[in-house]
Amino acid sequence: MAIRKLRQFVGQIAELVETNTREADLILRGSHALRELIQVDDWLPDAYSQASPDRYQQFLLYADARQRFSVVSFIWGPGQSTPIHDHRVWGLIGVLRGAELATSYERDDNGTLQQTGDEIRLERGAVEAVSPTIGDTHRVRNAYDDRVSVSIHVYGANIGAVHRSTYPLDGPPRSFVSGYSNEALPNIWDLSKEAHHS
């Protein structure tokens, strides 16, 4: 079963979180593991890749029991985008299907939010990192107006429960907690179907 790829990835991230306290190491080694996971698009269950016509979807695929990390799928319908937002923890974004456009922001000396650099295009297989130390505020959108894009994200917390902010250009920051679009998790632990396939 292809879901074993997700289980193996979860194990790799768990080991990194257990053995590395330096964010730079987590990002470097976690990026490599995420690149491997998204290399072949044959493991994400259909239930966690469904777009909504109303807004992008964030499906929880796995959350560490101590909330040290979580893995989610982001499903972008045609033309959908996030507001400018932060994360407050380290995060990795890997594009599984389609493509995304990301624009980074930071506050200048006057506290005004400014775009930093050009919008970047993340094609299938690309991995990008965010964190409060390397740049944490961005806006992301589906690069396509006529098809769905899917990305896999890993965060250094239970991201659906983190108190974060959006940043309207015409007003003060707004607090939010994202939650998740799904009620049930994929079963990555049933090894019975794999027992005799070695």
pLDDT digits (tens, 9 = 90+) for 138-177: 999 999 999 999 999 999 999 999 999 999 988 889 999 9
Whether 126 maps to a domain, the answer reads yes
Is residue 101 situated within a structural domain?
Answer: yes
92, part of any domain? yes
Residue 184 belongs to some domain of the structure: no
88 domain-assigned: yes
Position 61 in a domain? yes
- Is position 84 within any domain? yes
Residue 185 located in a structural domain: no
For the chain, how many structural domains are there in total? 1
Enclosing domain of residue 134: 4-176
Are residues 38 and 125 in contact, defined by beta-carbon separation less than 8 angstroms? yes
Predicted confidence (pLDDT) per residue in 39-94, tens digit? 999 999 999 999 999 999 999 999 999 999 999 999 999 999 999 999 999 999 99
Task: Give the distance between the most distant pair of CA atoms in the chain.
Answer: 63
Q: Is the pTM of this model over 0.85?
A: yes
Q: What is the CATH number of the domain that holds 83?
A: 2.60.120.10
Please state, in angstroms and as integers, the Cα–Cα distance from residue 9 to each residue in 115, 130, 142, 188, following that order: 33, 19, 25, 11
